[in-house]
Amino acid sequence: MQTYDLSDTHIVTPPEEIALSTHQLQVYYGNNRQASMTDASLSFPRFQITALIGASGSGKSTYLRSLNRLNDRIARVQGEIMYRNTNINSPKINVYEVRKHIGMVFQKPNPFAKSISENITFALKAAGITDRRERHQRVETSLKEAALWDEVKDDLNKSALALSGGQQQRLCIARAIAMKPDILLLDEPASALDPISTTKLEVTLKALTQKYTIIIVTHNMQQASRISAYTAFFHLGHVTEYDQTEKIFQTPKIQATHDYVTGNFG
Ligand SMILES: Nc1ncnc2c1ncn2[C@@H]1O[C@H](COP(=O)(O)OP(=O)(O)OP(=O)(O)O)[C@@H](O)[C@H]1O
Ligand SMILES: [Mg+2]
Return the ligand number nearest the Cα of 59: 1
Q: How far is the C-alpha of 114 from the C-alpha of 164, rounded, in Å? A: 15
Strands 75-83 and 18-29: antiparallel
Q: What is the pLDDT of residues 156-191, one digit of tens each?
A: 999 999 999 999 999 999 999 999 999 999 999 998
Phi, psi (degrees; rounded to nearest 5) at 157? -95, 0
Question: Which ligand 1 atom is nearest residue 29's CA?
Answer: 4
* 119-149 per-position pLDDT tens digit: 999 989 998 999 999 999 999 999 999 999 9
Instruction: Indicate which residue's Cα is closest to atom 1 of ligand 1.
Output: 74
Q: Which domains, from first to last, does the chain contain?
A: 10-112+181-261 (3.40.50.300)
In sequence order, the β-bridge partners of residue 105 are 186
Other beta carbons within 10 angstroms of residue 148's beta carbon come to 23
Q: How far is the CA of 125 from the centre of ligand 2 (A)?
A: 31
Residue nearest to atom 3 of ligand 1 (CA): 29
Query: Given a cut of 80, is residue 266 above it in pLDDT?
Result: no
Nearest CA to ligand 1 atom 5: 29
Q: For residue 265, what pLDDT is reported?
A: 87
Mean pLDDT, residues 61-86 = 97
Strands (E), the chain: 10-11, 18-29, 37-45, 49-54, 75-83, 86-87, 102-105, 183-187, 213-217, 230-235, 238-244
Closest CA to 159 of 123, 112, 119, 114: 114
Q: Is 1 a residue whose pLDDT tops 80?
A: no
Q: Measure CA of the first residue to CA of the last residue in the chain; give whole Å.
A: 4
Cα gap 211→190, rounded to integer Å: 21
pLDDT class of 100 with cuts at 50, 70, 90: very high
Which residues line the pocket of ligand 1, CB cutoff 6 A?
29-30, 36, 54, 56-62, 74
Is residue 192 very low, low, confident or very high in pLDDT (cuts 50, 70, 90)?
confident
Q: What is the pLDDT of residue 120?
A: 97
Instruction: Identify which ligand lies nearest to the alpha carbon of 62.
Output: 1
The stretch 192-212 carries a mean pLDDT of 93
Which atom, in ligand 1's list, is nearest to the CA of 107? Answer: 27
Reduced to 3 states (helix: H, G, I; strand: E, B; else coil), residue 120 is helix
